[in-house]
């Protein structure tokens, strides 16, 4: 079964942007943004679209689907 995850971390790295900057632009705490970046939580669609706009990427570029049955080791 596939579940959504995000690529926010990868996009931040590609663009050389810090999580603290993104948190400030989104009006969210660093802790919340870090939970999205580390895929412990997923942002709402509205927040995902805001993030894409701030990062100047297509929202589709921030979403990937992974097979839930893959182990955590396989995802690294």
List residues bridging with 6 in a β-sheet: 63
- The model's pLDDT over 55-65, given as tens digits with 9 standing for 90+, comes to 999 999 999 87
| C-alpha torsion sign, points 13, 16, 21, 27 | negative
Domain boundaries, the chain: 2-75
- The model's pLDDT over 27-63, given as tens digits with 9 standing for 90+, comes to 999 999 999 999 999 999 999 999 999 999 999 999 9
Among 4, 11, 1, 12, smallest CA distance to 69 is for 1
The structure tokens listed for 2 are 């596939």
Q: What is the CATH number of domain 2-75?
A: 1.10.260.40
């Amino acid at each position: 079964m596939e579940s959504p995850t995000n690529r926010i971390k990868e996009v931040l790295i590609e663009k050389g942007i810090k999580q603290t900057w993104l948190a400030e632009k989104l009006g969210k705490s660093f802790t919340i943004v870090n939970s999205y970046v580390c895929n412990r939580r997923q942002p709402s669609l509205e927040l995902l679209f805001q993030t894409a706009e701030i990062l100047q990427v297509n929202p589709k570029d921030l979403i990937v689907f992974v097979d839930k049955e893959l182990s955590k080791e396989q995802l690294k």
